[in-house]
Structure 1
């Protein structure tokens, strides 16, 4: 087995994809269900202006990101992968959430080699810098960008990313699938 550089997004990838929905429904007095979240952009889902959502997010981002729950199997699989591979969390979260994000990962006992809080959805340059072998993501546009830059992407299936994918993207339903795919990939990559 060869050591891989695994880049992992956080929100919607290791955390449950719809944790924000209850708080947003209460705030905007809506009753949106998970099945109705068919777009990544939350303001579009809620039927509000982007600035309204930005105001909500800026007021509530620390609580939103503190209260998230892990996806089933995420901790177990990442812990197992970390024994043989490098784990890099690469998130678009605001830079001011860096300390909170470190605490979230540590409090949930998620092992990792480094955390990169980019403050931007553009992750291609960081993936190149990290010599990424596989990127685990839930954002469709990020997955397309990364795949078009030559990276293998595992796209965590959600209602908001069910669009056509290319041959560098593999849609996955859970962390057990991710473990099997990465194990197979690491056996196929030749040692440098």
Structure 2
């Protein structure tokens, strides 16, 4: 039997969605929490001019990614899944961050079949190339597009910034334990 292939976003999914907040608070003299972020575009959410925020993010990105905490429950679930499924981590990170990303995965002791940094939020081509059967995401429009374009289920990790309605086929979960349960049920049905 062929092992199912999982496409998994990294930031805000495998890493804790609060990863950027300490850096934002320090560098922009803010005192925000995840609950304060109601949209994915942080420059807009925080009322910081987009060019300024992009410059800041480009500079801080390697430090943030090297130090991102892992999402609660992710490690145990991913270690268990590695025995049963193929894991393809597909991220919008830029390709020059591959070494930092691989080092983070090694430090966290998370095995993978492939890490692909696509450099944009459009993950459909990579998901298609890796022939994934299901995708895990935190960005609302990515989840919807992947589900609709590829006709595969997408597990969307709930955050304050992704609360727009979702179509059938996009399943919301609050944590990795719920994702694991949903996947168990889904595998039983397929």
Residues 27-48 of structure 1: CA deviation (Å, up to 9, x unaligned): 1122222211111111112211
Q: Distance in 2 between matches of 1:82 and 1:183?
A: 14
Aligned to 1:88: 88
Q: Deviation at 1:151?
A: 2.0
Aligned to 2:157: 156
Is the contact made by 1:32 and 1:46 (CA closer than 8 Å) also made in structure 2? no
Residues 122-174 of structure 1: CA deviation (Å, up to 9, x unaligned): 01111111111110000011001101111210000101001101101000011
Superposition pairs of residues 1-192 of structure 1, within 5 angstroms:
3-149=3-149, 150-189=151-190
Q: Deviation at 1:2?
A: 6.1
Residues 84-137 of structure 1: CA deviation (Å, up to 9, x unaligned): 100000000011101110110011000111110100100111111111111000
Q: Distance in 1 between matches of 2:183 and 2:131?
A: 16
Is the contact made by 1:155 and 1:169 (CA closer than 8 Å) also made in structure 2? yes
Instruction: State the SS of the aligned residue for 2:136.
Output: strand
Instruction: State the SS of the aligned residue for 2:125.
Output: helix
Moved over 3 A (4+): none
Structure 2 length as normaliser, TM-score?
0.96
Structure 1 length as normaliser, TM-score?
0.95
Is the contact made by 2:8 and 2:89 (CA closer than 8 Å) also made in structure 1? yes
Is the contact made by 1:138 and 1:157 (CA closer than 8 Å) also made in structure 2? yes
Instruction: State the SS of the aligned residue for 1:131.
Output: coil
Q: Distance in 2 between matches of 1:45 and 1:31?
A: 14
Q: Distance in 2 between matches of 1:73 and 1:2?
A: 26
Relative contact order, higher structure (CA 8 A, sep 6+)? 1
Instruction: State the SS of the aligned residue for 1:83.
Output: helix
